[in-house]
Structure 1
């Protein structure tokens, strides 16, 4: 019931009350007004009883409503307690989850550190393996160089021996023994005496170019091959080099071998010294 309805009822009661007083004064004789008023005493008692009964009923209804409100409040309180307990359980569960996540994070951190340590260890092992491989490669190259140097030394000795033991050379009907210097001095343009086909030079030439081919094909570094080529160059006299270039002047393969092993600049210098006019 809103305020407007209550106000209307109160106004209605006031109008009835005021109207009854006016009606009594207007239509009721003054001598009967007391008697007429007493007639309403029982009515007043009746209405007072109704009012008291209404009051008791109102109190009972209010008491019932209060009891219901109390029960509702108790239910809400219990529900709130349950919610609080549920919140506590959720909080504890979240705390446990947080601890589990923290433990997992720490475990992942330890695993990461272990992986880093393993990675560093593998890297160190790889570096050690690389150093070992380099050392083995260096030892292998050194061993190859030592073996190649020993073989080249023996071949140089064999070359020099065959250079010193050039067999008798047939010139006309006579056989003569000449040194390399004498051949170059007396028969520089005699193809039958200084050529690859000359029988008395074949053994020497084959030995010399075998040395160069051995150096070229052996498993060595380029600087090691250059060192052995220089060794052969130092153990080859100027007259030997002149004779070799004259003998193989038509063999492009052997000329290229001489150039690859560094003999060409020396031969050019010897040629310039030979052709230079004397002052």
Structure 2
């Protein structure tokens, strides 16, 4: 309610109160004014009782409203508790779904890695077989009447050093196959452990004679020397050269 309405009501009440005094003094005989005033005293008691009854009723209504509000708050509290439980259940379910998704992703990644390894191993095995067939073949070297096998070439001092360079026609295909195998392992989509396993596979299928010959042939090719080191052949070659005399 606006303040102006409250002021108007207060002024109206004050006006009725003041007007009643003037009316009594004007129209009521002086000898009856006391009796007339006592009558208004009874009216005041009536209105006071009605006001008290109204106050009690108001308090009762407010108490009922407070009870209803309390029940509503309790219901809201229970509803919030149920909502919280539902949210907790949804959170737990989402957590389980995330864990299941993560497990599925790990399984798919594992299957992918295994498939890549199987494919890479198949290719590497084929390349190793191709390389091994080359080592079994005897090549006729231009300018020599005898046939030379790779196993013969360990005795470097018996032959022209030009036979053991990567430009030598009889070595080019072999060296290209060998280093293509290493490059394939290096560039294929594999994990480090899987690449190490394939490098070990190539190492085991490369004889000491082959390794000495390879290092001799590519001794001026820094890129290929680096590849041999990266793929783990250097320690073995170093050990072998400590026992084998290499041509200068």
Matched with 1:50 is none
Secondary structure of the corresponding residue to residue 142 of structure 2: strand
Pick aligned residue for 1:226 from 183, 187, 196: 196
- The Cα of 1:186 is off from its aligned counterpart by 4.3
- Contact conserved, 2:215 with 2:225, CA < 8 A, in 1? yes
Report which stretch shifted further, 235-244 or 180-189. Answer: 180-189
- The Cα of 1:166 is off from its aligned counterpart by 4.0
State the structure with more CA Rg: 1
- The Cα of 1:199 is off from its aligned counterpart by 0.5
Matched with 2:66 is 94
User: Residues of 1 paired with 2:83 and 2:35: CA distance?
Assistant: 70
User: Residues of 1 paired with 2:98 and 2:37: CA distance?
Assistant: 88
Matched with 2:55 is 83
User: Residues of 2 paired with 1:221 and 1:197: CA distance?
Assistant: 34
- The Cα of 1:183 is off from its aligned counterpart by 2.0
Pick aligned residue for 1:208 from 178, 181, 186: 178
Give the gaps of 5 or more residues in structure 1: 1-58
The 5-angstrom pairing of residues 101-140 of structure 1 reads: 101-140=73-112
Give the count of matched residue pairs.
217
- Contact conserved, 1:245 with 1:255, CA < 8 A, in 2? yes
Pick aligned residue for 1:259 from 208, 229, 234: 229
- Contact conserved, 1:187 with 1:193, CA < 8 A, in 2? no
When the two structures are superposed, what TM-score results if normalisation uses the length of structure 2? 0.81
Matched with 2:220 is 250
User: Residues of 2 paired with 1:176 and 1:107: CA distance?
Assistant: 98
Matched with 1:198 is 168
Matched with 2:46 is 74
Pick aligned residue for 1:152 from 120, 124, 128: 124
CA, structure 1 residues 217+143, in 2 after alignment: closer, same or farther (shift >3 Å)? same
User: Residues of 2 paired with 1:99 and 1:168: CA distance?
Assistant: 106
Aligned alpha-carbon RMSD (Å)? 2.1
